[in-house]
Amino acid sequence: MDPTVAITGATSGIGRAVAEAFVEAGAFVAVSGRDGDAVDRTVAELNGDGEGAAGEAWGERVDVRDEFDLERFFQRAAREGGPIDVVLANAAVFHGGPGESPTDEVSYADYDDTMRTNARGAFATIGEAVPHLADDARVIVPSGSVAHESKAGMGAYAVSKAAAEAVARGFAADLDATVGVVDPGLVATDLTGMERARDPESVAPLFVWAATEAPAEELNGERLGLREWKSATR
């Protein structure tokens, strides 16, 4: 049976690339994002007007800062595609941009919104998905080295990613589902603004592998990245 996959922050960057990879692999993919028009465009593009797509995309506007949005999203995604096999808690914000947000200059408003989106949003995403998870479901929280290494100008984003990783570890300890962190390294997205980093499409297979093939015991409560993926698939 083809998997049902739910992705937050799926209209651009890593989320969009992973959604496309799963649709091409035959999955039912529930995509979401804050911009409803962008969600509609993404669904239409992924489905390709019904031509050539092995799987199917469905979407809904969701703001991960609102747990009721997430509750409705997972209810409807499960109704449309069945129990959810994979959750990618991908939605995130970065106020100011990489290297340009010294921690001592971050406003309280930006700090609060970053934490509410990136950390609390991951908590709410996983929590609202739980009632709809399939047996042997996997939940993935994207992260990066900023979560555990000091880097100048990363501000509240680094703090939020460390918190999001802690959220993943907490759920991994308490759920039957496999919950882990995937670090794709530096990726060129609107969020990072890094033009010379990897394309999102180049790391999408890493996320598909982590969600479907990586040993559950190596993902659960742990962090997997490019090294583990390349070692396992070469």
**Which CATH number does 4-233 carry?**
3.40.50.720
Q: Is 108 a catalytic residue?
A: no
pLDDT by residue (tens digit) across 82-137? 999 999 999 999 999 888 999 999 999 999 999 999 999 999 999 999 999 999 99
Residue numbers of the chain with a pLDDT score lower than 50: none
Predicted local distance difference test score (pLDDT) of residue 234: 82
Residue 178 identity: T
Predicted local distance difference test score (pLDDT) of residue 54: 83
Domain ranges for the chain, please list them.
4-233
CA distance 141 to 152: 23
Find the catalytic residue in 94, 111, 123, 157.
Answer: 157
